[in-house]
Amino acid sequence: LEVGKKQDNIVINGIDKQKVGEFAAVVRRIRPPEPYKGKGSRYRGELVKTKTGKKVSA
């Protein structure tokens, strides 16, 4: 299992796809994407639906 960092991205590589997925899930569990700003850990190509805030509706 290899873990690397490229700018703002964490790259996880390995031979065993299951172990790579489990490690990615552990990393995501630490900091899941938040619904208002979209910050946090996401998988490549994943779209996070963002909610509108209170002040936007005015």
The reported pTM is 0.72
* Tally of residues, the chain: 58
- According to the model, what pLDDT value does residue 6 have? 87
In eight-state DSSP terms, residue 50 is P
Q: Tell me, letter by letter, the H, E, C secondary structure of 27-39.
A: HHHHCCCCCCCCC
- According to the model, what pLDDT value does residue 15 have? 95
User: Could you give the number of structural domains in the chain?
Assistant: 1
Report, in this order, helix, strand and coil percent for the chain, each rounded to 5.
30, 15, 55
- According to the model, what pLDDT value does residue 18 have? 95
Domain CATH number, residue 40: 3.90.930.12
Which tens digit of pLDDT belongs to each residue from 1-58? 899 998 888 899 999 999 999 999 998 899 888 888 878 888 888 888 888 888 755 5
Which residue range forms the structural domain that includes residue 26? Answer: 2-57
- According to the model, what pLDDT value does residue 13 have? 93
Collapse the DSSP code of 49 into the 3-class scheme (helix H, G, I; strand E, B; otherwise coil) and give the result: coil
| Structural contact between residues 36 and 48, judged by C-beta atoms closer than 8 angstroms | no
